[in-house]
Amino acid sequence: MILSQQADVENVQLIANRFISALTAPIVINGRNLYIGVSIGASLYPYDGEDAAHLLRDADAAMYYAKSRGKNNFQMFSVEMHHKSSTRLVLESELRAALEHGQFELYYQPQIGLPGNKLIGVEALIRWHHPQRGLLMPGSFIPMAEETGLIVPIGEWVLREACRQAMEWKEMGLLLRMSVNLSGRQFRQENLLATITQILQATRMDTSMLELEITESVLMEDAESTITRLNNLKAMGLELAIDDFGTGYSSMAYLKRFPVSRLKIDRSFIRDIPHDADDVAITTATIQMAHSLKLEVVAEGVETRAQLQFLQEQGSDLVQGFFFSQPKEAHQLSEMALAGKF
Ligand code: C2E
Ligand code: MG
Ligand code: MG
C-alpha cells in the first residue's frame, strides 16, 4: 500500500493500527469465528530508499521484524534491520544453491533398544557443507528454510536420501528403522502423501522401516486436522513418533487419539538425571503415561551411564545420545554397526 503525502510517521502508525484492528476482528462463517493475523512493516520515502525496489525491500524487512515480535504488530523500518534482511536474502539464495549443488549430507544417530543395548534404528540428521563456512548444523539453517518454504524441497531430499540409504544398508544385511524429521510446514503440505508415496516407490523402501518424527508443538497446533493427517500417514504403513515431547503443550485427550507408535522425551528432561528431582519425576511419569497409552518411549540426549541406568530401570524402550554415539556419516555408522560396536 502506498500512503502519499504522509509527512508524519505517527500518522502512518495510526493508519497501520486501524488496519490491524479491522483485519483482526473475527469473521463469522457458518456460525464459527475465524481469525486472521496481520503483521505490517513500513518504510519511508526518501529516507529509507529512493525507488520502489528499495522501499519494498525495507518494508519487507520491517514486516519480518514485526512478525518476530508476535502477532498483530506494526514496525517502521530501521537501519539495523537492513543487515538482518540482507543476511536473510543471502542465506535463502545459498540454501537454494546448496540443494542444487548437493551440499547437504545426512548423518545418522543410533537408536538403541533396552534392555540389551541392541541397535534398532537410526535418526537421520541433516548437515550442510557450506562452501565458505564449513559444516553447518541444522539449527543454523532449518529455521530459515522453514520461513522461506525451502524446507519443503529440502525435506523431500532428506526423505529420498534417507530411504535410499536404508535400502543400501538392507542390501548389506543391515536392517535398521529409519527415522526422519518432518517439519511443520512439510506436515501441513497438501501433497505430502503423494510425495512420500512417490519416494517410497522410487527407492523401493519398505514402508514399515520408515518412521516420521514430528514435534509435539507442531502436532498440537491444530490437533483435529493433525488426527486426520496422522491417520492418513499411518494407513500407508509408516511409523510415527512425537519428537521433543514435554516442550509443547500436550492435551492428553488428543494424545490418546494420535495414531503414533513412539514418544521421544526431550533431551532437556534427561540432561540433569539423576540429580534433578523434578526431571526424575517428570521422566518417570512420562514413561508410565506413554506405556499406559501403549506407546514406546525413546529418551533423547543420553550422555552418561547413570542416565542410561536410570532410564533402563524406569523401562524406557529406546535411548539415543552421545553415550552410545554422536550422529555419524553413513559409512562410519554401517562400519560400526557391522563390527557390532553398539
Ligand atoms: P531433534 O530431532 O530433536 O534431533 C536430536 C538432536 O539432538 C540432534 O541435533 C542430535 O545431534 C542432538 N543430540 C543427540 N544426542 C545428544 C546428546 O547426547 N547430547 C546432546 N547435547 N545432543 C544430542 P542436530 O543434529 O543439531 O539437530 C537439531 C534439530 O534440527 C533436530 O532436533 C531436528 O529438529 C532438526 N533437524 C535435523 N535434521 C532435520 C531434517 O532433516 N529435517 C527437519 N525438518 N529438521 C531437522
Ligand atoms: Mg528428531
Ligand atoms: Mg528431539
- SS3 string, 114-154, reads CCCCEEEEEEEEEEEEECCCEEECHHHCHHHHHHHCCHHHH
Nearest CA to ligand 1 atom 34: 181
Residue 43: pLDDT band with limits 50, 70, 90: very high
For ligand 1, say whether the CB of 321 is within 6 Å of any of its atoms: yes
The closest of 6, 328, 20 to 176, measured between CA atoms, is 328
DSSP calls for 191-217: THHHHHHHHHHHHT--GGGEEEEEEHH
Percent of the chain clearing pLDDT 70 (strictly above): 100
Nearest CA to ligand 1 atom 46: 181
Instruction: Tell me the mean pLDDT in the region 166-193.
Output: 96
Instruction: Tell me the mean pLDDT in the region 90-97.
Output: 92
Q: How many CB atoms lie within 10 A of CB 115?
A: 10
Residue 288's pLDDT is 97
Contacts of 6 (CB under 8 A, 6+ apart): 12, 15
Q: Which atom of ligand 1 is nearest to the CA of 158?
A: 41
Distance CA 246, CA 236 (A): 27
Residue 134: pLDDT band with limits 50, 70, 90: very high
Q: Please tell me the pTM assigned to this model.
A: 0.84
Nearest CA to ligand 1 atom 13: 301
Most confidently modeled range among 30-34, 158-162, 337-341: 158-162
Q: What angle do CA 216, 70, 300 make, to 5 degrees?
A: 25
Residue 167: pLDDT band with limits 50, 70, 90: very high
Q: Which atom of ligand 1 is nearest to the CA of 323?
A: 18
pLDDT at 16 over 80: yes
Instruction: Tell me the mean pLDDT in the region 168-187.
Output: 96
**From ligand 1's centre to the CA of 321, what distance in Å?**
10
Residue ranges, comma separated, of all CATH 3.20.20.450 domains in the chain are 94-338
- pLDDT top residue among 203 and 37: 203
Query: Which ligand does the CA of 156 lie closest to?
Result: 1
CATH T-level assignment (fold) for domain 9-77: Alpha-Beta Plaits (3.30.70)
Instruction: Tell me the mean pLDDT in the region 160-187.
Output: 97
Per-chain residues with Cβ under 5 A from ion ligand 3: 243-244, 300
pLDDT at 151 over 90: yes
pLDDT at 251 over 90: no
Tell which one of 142, 216, 218 to mutate to probe ligand 1, the residue whose CB is within 8 A of the most ligand atoms. Answer: 142
Nearest CA to ligand 1 atom 12: 301
Residue 283: pLDDT band with limits 50, 70, 90: very high
Residue 252's pLDDT is 86
Residue 48's pLDDT is 87
Nearest CA to ligand 1 atom 20: 301
For ligand 1, say whether the CB of 41 is within 6 Å of any of its atoms: no
pLDDT at 166 over 90: yes
Residue ranges, comma separated, of all CATH 3.30.70.270 domains in the chain are 9-77
Residue 10's pLDDT is 85
pLDDT at 6 over 90: no
- pLDDT top residue among 30 and 165: 165
What is the β-pairing status of strands 40-42 and 74-76?
parallel
Tell which one of 181, 195, 267 to mutate to probe ligand 1, the residue whose CB is within 8 A of the most ligand atoms. Answer: 181
**Cell 541433516 belongs to residue:** 126
For ligand 1, say whether the CB of 110 is within 6 Å of any of its atoms: no
Instruction: Tell me the mean pLDDT in the region 136-159.
Output: 94
Residue 259's pLDDT is 96
For the chain, report the end-to-end CA distance as a whole number of angstroms.
61
Torsion of Cα atoms, 55 then 58 then 63 then 66, to 10°: -130
**From ligand 1's centre to the CA of 125, what distance in Å?**
6
For ligand 1, say whether the CB of 155 is within 6 Å of any of its atoms: yes
**Cell 543471502 belongs to residue:** 90
Residue 9's pLDDT is 82
Domain 94-338 maps to which CATH number in 1.10.275.10, 3.20.20.450, 2.60.120.10, 2.40.128.110? 3.20.20.450
Q: Where are the beta strands (DSSP E) in the chain?
A: 27-29, 32-34, 40-42, 74-76, 104-113, 118-130, 134-136, 177-181, 210-215, 239-245, 262-265, 296-299, 318-319, 328-329
Residue 230: pLDDT band with limits 50, 70, 90: very high
Residue 238's pLDDT is 96
- pLDDT top residue among 29 and 320: 320
- For the record, the C-alpha cell of 118 comes out as 541392541
Where is average pLDDT lowest: 25-34, 95-104, 283-292, 307-316?
25-34
Residue 248's pLDDT is 85
Query: Which ligand does the CA of 158 lie closest to?
Result: 1
Residue 36: pLDDT band with limits 50, 70, 90: confident
